[in-house]
């Protein structure tokens, strides 16, 4: 997945939305919104983290590079990719906001603006810069999560791979109702809700709080990935 292809696609999506809306409904439907545009950074990081680990380990190991050095190089590459994609997506969004923002035709905002500053955050360089840093932190964390999932599945045998792949979605789907009931009817559940609310307020108080948490979560996922990887048998691709 080449960076320039991904950024080109990210640039074309709002233009395509605008063109389709105009084609279907004419001038009267030209007002709309595209919220969370920088989610593209997180999705890029998640996929890149998933697909890069095994191939990089195999190739570099065959060329005499230790798995530790290969892992650190992979982490550095993911960090650089998160920064570059965040910068590219922010530049694209800023260009759209400059061209379309004052026309009332299509409002494009990133995740940072939606949560912290509102649509007006994109009016200045400072708001765009803060949004890019926040997006890079999101991309870093999701890249680390993707790498952890890849390392985990690499270590699991076929039975556990199938079991986890089936069980986790079922628990999320059918366990949500009992969990909500437990949260509302037990003292431990209410305490958990209060703790989560306090944590949410901490995150909402400042984007730097959220960015710090995201960076820490990314570091934790990378550490777990290394623990799984350091004794993994590096097999050829099937």
Per-residue pLDDT of 72-126, as tens digits, reads: 999 999 999 999 889 888 888 888 777 765 555 567 778 888 888 865 545 578 8
- Reported as a pLDDT band with limits 50, 70 and 90, residue 29 is very low
Instruction: Calculate mean pLDDT across residues 151-169.
Output: 89
Residue at 190 is within a domain? no
Instruction: Calculate mean pLDDT across residues 201-225.
Output: 94
Residue at 89 is within a domain? yes
Residue at 180 is within a domain? no
105-121 in b/e form (b: 16+ CB < 10 A) is bbbbbbbbbbebbebeb
pTM of the model: 0.81
Residue at 91 is within a domain? yes
Residue at 41 is within a domain? yes
Dist CA 49 CA 43 (whole Å):
10
Residue at 25 is within a domain? yes
Q: Is 168 exposed, middle or buried (0-12, 13-18, 19+ CB in 10 A)?
A: exposed
Task: Average the pLDDT over each of 45-59, 71-85, 205-219 and give the range with the smallest value.
Answer: 45-59
Mean pLDDT of the chain, nearest integer: 81
Residue at 8 is within a domain? yes
Residue at 88 is within a domain? yes
Q: Which two structure tokens, joined as six digits, stand for 190?
A: 């209410």
């Amino acid at each position: 997945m080449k960076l320039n292809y991904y950024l080109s696609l990210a640039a074309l999506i709002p233009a395509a939305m605008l063109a389709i809306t105009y084609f279907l409904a004419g001038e009267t439907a030209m007002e709309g919104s595209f919220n969370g545009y920088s989610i593209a950074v997180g999705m890029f990081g998640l996929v890149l983290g998933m697909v890069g680990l095994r191939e990089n380990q195999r190739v570099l190991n065959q060329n005499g590079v230790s798995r530790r050095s290969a892992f650190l190089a992979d982490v550095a590459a993911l960090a650089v990719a998160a920064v570059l994609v965040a910068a590219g997506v922010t530049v694209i969004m800023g260009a759209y906001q400059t061209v379309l923002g004052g026309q009332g035709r299509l409002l494009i905002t990133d995740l940072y603006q939606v949560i912290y500053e509102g649509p007006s955050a994109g009016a200045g360089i400072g708001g765009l810069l803060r949004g890019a840093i926040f997006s890079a932190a999101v991309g870093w964390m999701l890249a680390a999560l993707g790498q952890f999932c890849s390392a985990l599945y690499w270590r699991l045998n076929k039975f556990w791979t199938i079991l986890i792949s089936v069980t986790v979605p079922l628990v999320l789907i059918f366990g949500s109702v009992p969990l909500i009931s437990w949260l509302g009817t037990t003292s431990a559940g209410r305490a958990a809700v209060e703790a989560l609310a306090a944590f949410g307020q901490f995150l909402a108080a400042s984007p730097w709080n959220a960015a710090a948490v995201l960076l820490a979560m990314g570091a934790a996922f990378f550490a777990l990935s290394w623990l799984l990887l350091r004794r993994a048998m590096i097999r050829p691709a099937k």
